[in-house]
Amino acid sequence: MKRPEHNRQEIAAGLVWAAIGLAAIFIAGDYAFGTIVRMGPGFVPIALGVLLVGLGLVAAWQGRLAERIKLDLRFRPFAIIMGGIIVWVLLVDRAGFVISTFALVAIVSQAEREITMLETVLLAAGVTLVGYLIFIRGIGIPIAVFGS
């Protein structure tokens, strides 16, 4: 019985994620870790690093077991998503959190060709509202809601 070829792209991607996690752990190693109740500055980067290492190794292992697939790279969704992030960064100080986040989601949703205008508006409104409630009202991040 012939054994299927390994999915090398998935193995490599998993190992890259694990390496990024190890780098995060190494970089944050000098920071105070703290406890779950009183987290130090190293808690989140180390915890996320451990999570990345674990998920990366799981992905690499699954790539060993999965059949090889043809890699399908598409530039358009990547460019749209990166463009949306750049627009958010450029708008957030001038237009505020609400308008920049709405614009971000509206732009990024266009990476998916099948989304309708109504779905885009509802998604953008929902993400903006949840982001406002979590980051501005809940955590208290000092970002202007509407412009500076």
pLDDT of residue 67: 67
| 83 and 132 assigned to the same domain | yes
Judged against a pLDDT cut of 70, whether residue 1 lies above it is answered with: no
Looking at the domain assignment, is residue 145 inside a domain?
no
Residue 66 CA: distances (Å) to CA of 53, 63, 108: 20, 5, 30
Domain count, the chain: 2
pLDDT of residue 127: 92
Strand partners, 39: 34
Share of the chain above pLDDT 90, in %: 44
Looking at the domain assignment, is residue 17 inside a domain?
yes
Looking at the domain assignment, is residue 148 inside a domain?
no
**Six-digit token pair at 64?**
């060993």
| 86 and 134 assigned to the same domain | yes
Q: How far apart are the first and last CA of the chain?
A: 67
How many other C-beta atoms are found inside a 10 Å radius of the C-beta of residue 86? 12
The three-state secondary structure class of 39 is strand
| 94 and 45 assigned to the same domain | no
Query: Phi and psi at residue 28, in whole multiples of 5°?
Result: -85, 5
- Least confident residue range of 7-11, 40-44, 53-57: 7-11
pLDDT of residue 148: 67
Looking at the domain assignment, is residue 1 inside a domain?
no
Is the whole model's pTM more than 0.75, yes or no? no
Span 114-128, pLDDT tens digits = 888 999 999 999 999
pLDDT of residue 74: 77
Strand partners, 34: 39
Residue 62 CA: distances (Å) to CA of 7, 14, 58, 65, 109: 9, 9, 6, 5, 30
Q: Residue 12's domain spans which residues?
A: 8-65
At which residue do the structure tokens 């202007």 appear? 144
Looking at the domain assignment, is residue 105 inside a domain?
yes
| 28 and 47 assigned to the same domain | yes
| 85 and 133 assigned to the same domain | yes
| 44 and 83 assigned to the same domain | no
Looking at the domain assignment, is residue 101 inside a domain?
yes
| 60 and 87 assigned to the same domain | no
53: CB partners within 8 A, 6+ apart = 17, 18, 21, 22, 25
Q: Of 132 and 6, which is predicted with more confidence?
A: 132
pLDDT classification of 3: cutoffs 50, 70, 90: low
Looking at the domain assignment, is residue 49 inside a domain?
yes
